Amino acid sequence: MHEFSIAEALATQVIKHAPEGARVREVEIRVGVMRGLEPEAMAMSWEAVTADSPLEGSILRMDIQPWAVSCSACGRTWTSNVPFNVCACGNESPSPAGGDELDLISMTIEEDEPSSAGKDDQ
């Protein structure tokens, strides 16, 4: 299950880039279909990797991108849920042209409120 190693690497990056003292509530990633990540397996891996860490309780959101397909005959490009299908021009062998991305898109954080200690109550 490669989802676990991806979840570990992602958690490392989130911890590295989150502001100190901030609580990470949600992490959003964009994933190309070519990565073959199963959302349920990724969610379980994220939960396991973040347990007993600063990310514990955070939610992982995945935006799975479809295949990008390109036709060498007519130059048309389109997205598809399957990597191989016939182009509208009749070409029976267009090529998958993308779908391997894995990008950290955003982190939703909750920062601790500054302490009011030391302020006068006047």
Structural domain count, the chain: 1
pLDDT > 70: percent of the chain: 90
Q: What is the rounded distance in angstroms from the CA atom of residue 64 to the CA atom of residue 29? A: 8
Q: Is 48 contained in some domain?
A: yes
pLDDT tens, position by position, 44-73:
999 999 999 999 999 999 999 998 899 999
Q: Is 33 contained in some domain?
A: yes
To which residue do tokens 């109550």 refer? Answer: 121
3-state helix, strand, coil in the chain (%, to 5): 25, 35, 40
pLDDT tens, position by position, 97-108:
777 899 999 999
Prediction pTM value: 0.77
Task: Supply the pLDDT for residue 1.
Answer: 62
Residues 72-98 as b or e (16 or more Cβ within 10 Å = b): eeeeeeeeeeebeeebeeeeeebebeb
Q: Is 86 contained in some domain?
A: yes
CB 42 within 8 A of CB 81: no
Domain extent for 78: 2-9+22-109
Q: Is the pLDDT of residue 15 over 70?
A: yes
